[in-house]
Structure 1
Amino acid sequence: MDESMLSSVISTRIRLARNLRGIPFPRKMSAGHADIVAAKVERALTNGYKTYRVKSLGEIEAGAFVERHLISKELLSDCPYGRVVLSDDEAVSVMLNEEDHVREQVILPGYRLDEAYRVADALDDRISEAAEFAFSEKYGYLTACPTNLGTGMRASVMIFLPALTITGELKRNVSTLAKMNVTLRGVYGEGSDALGYVYQVSNKRTLGVTEAEILSFVRAAAESIAAAEKDARERLLKSRGNALIDEIARAMGVASCAYMLSYEQAITAVSLVKLGAYYGIIGLKNAAKPDELLISVSPFNLESAADRPLKSEADRSVYRAELVRTTIKNIARLNF
């Protein structure tokens, strides 16, 4: 794998939208219909999987699921019959009765489009043995939203683009990506912000293209923007020089010494530490740890993992800083 991909790609996701033949779409379904969908999918996914009824989740657990990309905000807020089936390692999640009856998702760390698709394809075959999917010879898999017709597949790569963001060059690359049948979104999909310079590159079309073509579109786009990011990092260091090194060193100081950190402050500091590791300004023992930390400091995951009650925003800021401090001191050091 090219160095630019290793330093930029965080994770890979494949999502398949499916509906069961003979059952109304979730917006029109009854509780009985929802139970039929759940029973069929749960029959296919037994050992190594657990089902959660969304309405039975506590606020913190539900919010943590959203932050870890296991469920959508829509499943949480607007789906009375929503459930999610999770694999023990959380690499596979299957949302039930959201916009469609079934939303199959596979997330793997790193740049692994082909592997993620193989896992998703096997998962799809497994579920289809227990549930007949609605399919048209003309339109492919039938979905509640026309934009998902055809393959019903979204392939996406989560990618770290600090230099393109800081230099303002990202807008130019977005227009280039549009010509490649892909789009650039925020961390939590359409309409969301790019936290910590992290974006999703995903296909726009699902109808009139094959799964192989979708993978090809996303692969070409991800590799193109990763190469642009690599070039932008070189220009950024050349243009800002000592000022950039100082900003990264200060971020390292914040991450390793701050007593209180807001979510935004933690995200910024950890992201700049990661960029510093790319330049060799910071030595990093575990390259994956900053990405894990970005999830751990998010509001609901922070509360979920806390070893004490966090009753106020001040409590959360103190505990977040403690978590960041401990982690960064164990894995990172300045190289000067």
Structure 2
Amino acid sequence: MDNSSKINMESDTQNEMEEAFQKLELSTETKSLVKKHLTREVFQQLKGRRTKNGGTLADVIRTGAEHTHVMTGAFVPEPEGYQVFALLLDPIIDDCHFGGQSARNQPPPEFGDLKFFENLDPEGHYIVSTRVRCGRNLEGFPFHPCLTEDQYEEIERTIKVAMESLEGELATTYYPLSEMDEDQKQKLIDDHYLFHGKDVSLETAGAYRLWPTGRGIFMNQAKTFLVWCNEEDQLRIISMQPGGDMGAVFRRFAEAVQSLEEKLPFARHERLGYLAFCPTNLGTAIRASVLIRLPNLGANRALLDELTEKLGLQIRGSSGVYTEVQGNLFDISNKKRLGLTEFEVVKGVYEGTLEIIRQERNLEKNTRTEKGNYFPCTLL
């Protein structure tokens, strides 16, 4: 690239950053943490900084500037970006994970007593499915905005070698996205196994660059253990199954994560834990969730919101973040991922779900119900 092209590219980047900042500054609808913390002073200090692979402030704030509905609005172009853009990212991380208080250092990995967790709903009245997942990224590679086509393919090959060494329940088959026909792809999406590649926040952040190069899904025969390759993070490790047996799901998850960590160097920071494309997924990067039917609490949404807030949990629709709840079917998961051990994260969801079921049962006592109110289901 000649000097003239470099100058033009730099000018375009600076213009994009200024336009993004103005959008955030002028918007009356945007409520994101990027808008809250990106002051003119912070912007002036960060706008000229670059990561070693060319990541800029524009990469960090682009999603927050373009989409008024997002809650965080920040993505990081590569692991080094957490230091380069710390003036903006540190207060966002504190707000996101600790309610504005200073973040604690991430403790060492600790899965605790794997026999602690039991079946949350042995009769199958409430919980449709249980899932524990985490994101991981390989040390030495940037995130989506800075990845090359060769790097996407190298990450895919590296993960594939590690996955091929897993045995028993963790043995999987790899399905590259580029080799799937549309019917196969849609069936996996409809059954909640495969990412859909249509998240506007991720698209704006650059997660779908060079799509579908290097993307795919590893899946065991029982469809209870999955690894997504190069979607939001380079690996998304997922243990899931119908019903409420959190113990079985967490034991499978722990075995998979620990086995892969022996074979793959994951990007990790002493204070922030496992590094992720989105700051919401730092720390353990774990999201433990139950898909649960709550006809009585669902009819009193204010009460349900108050209860989940008290328990440190969050509610999503059954199709993920920013989706609407359908038919009293709620996806309930942990809010915090940073500053806790893996065991503590899952324990919070486990005990919180038990309390939610207890409250739902109490409401049932005062509500005329029919046997047909219960819908045991295997939807994942």
TM-score, normalised relative to structure 1? 0.67
Q: Report the equivalent of 1:63.
A: 186
Task: Pick the aligned partner of 2:372 from 270, 276, 292.
Answer: 276
Matches for 1:191-270 after TM superposition, within 5 Å: 191-237=322-368
Runs of at least 5 residues in structure 2 that lack an aligned partner in the other structure: 1-118
Cα deviation for residue 156 of structure 1 reads 0.6
Aligned in 2, Cα 1:65/1:88: closer, same or farther, shift over 3 Å?
same
Letter in 1 for 2:158: K
Partners of 2:256 and 2:122 in 1: how far apart? 31
User: 1:277 & 1:183 partners in 2: Cα distance?
Assistant: 25
Whether the aligned pair in 2 keeps the contact of 1:62 and 1:76 (CA below 8 Å) is no
1:122 maps to what in 2? 255
Which contiguous aligned blocks of 4+ residues in structure 1 show a shift greater than 4 angstroms?
Answer: 1-5, 75-78
Indicate if the aligned counterparts of 1:17 and 1:103 stay in contact, CA closer than 8 A.
Answer: yes
Letter in 1 for 2:340: V
Cα distance change on mapping 1:219 and 1:3 into 2, 3 Å: closer
Secondary structure in structure 2 of the residue aligned to 1:150:
coil
Q: State the TM-score, normalizing by the size of structure 2.
A: 0.60
Work out whether 1:54 is the aligned partner of 2:177. Answer: yes
Alignment correspondent of 2:149: 31
Partner SS state of residue 74, structure 1: coil
3-state SS of 1:190 partner: coil
Equivalent of 1:108, from 230, 241, 251?
A: 241
**What is the percent sequence identity of the aligned residues?**
26
Asked if 2 retains the 8 angstrom alpha-carbon contact of 1:153 and 1:206, the reply is: yes
**Closer, same or farther: CA 6–226 of 1 in aligned 2, 3 Å:** same
Q: Could you tell me how far apart the structure 1 residues matched to 2:236 and 2:300 are? A: 34
1:76 CA drift (Å): 8.6
- CA drift of 1:54 comes to 1.8
Structure number with greater CO (CA < 8 Å, separation at least 6) is: 2
Count matched residues: 247
Deviates more, 1:46-55 or 1:220-229: 46-55
* Aligned twin of 2:307: 176
Instruction: Give the drift of 1:157.
Output: 1.0
> Cα RMSD over matched residues?
2.4
Contact 1:75 1:98 in 2 (8 A): no
| TM-superposition CA deviations, 1:213-259 (whole Å, max 9, x none) | 1112111221121122222233231xxxxxx75xxxxxxxxxxxxxx
1: CA distance, partners of 2:341 / 2:120: 26
Once the two structures are superposed, residues 27-66 of structure 1 have per-residue CA deviations (whole angstroms, 9 ceiling, x without a partner) of 3212211122211221122264111222332233222212
Structure 1 gap ranges (5+): 238-243, 246-274, 279-286, 296-336
CA deviation vs aligned residue, 1:183-225 (integer Å, no higher than 9, x gap): 0111112112333422111001111111121112111221121
Take 2:195 and 2:252, find their aligned partners in 1: how far apart are those partners?
A: 21
> CA 1:177 to 1:204, structure 2 compared with 1: closer, same or farther past 3 Å?
same
SS of the equivalent of 1:24 reads: coil
One-letter code aligned to 1:42: K
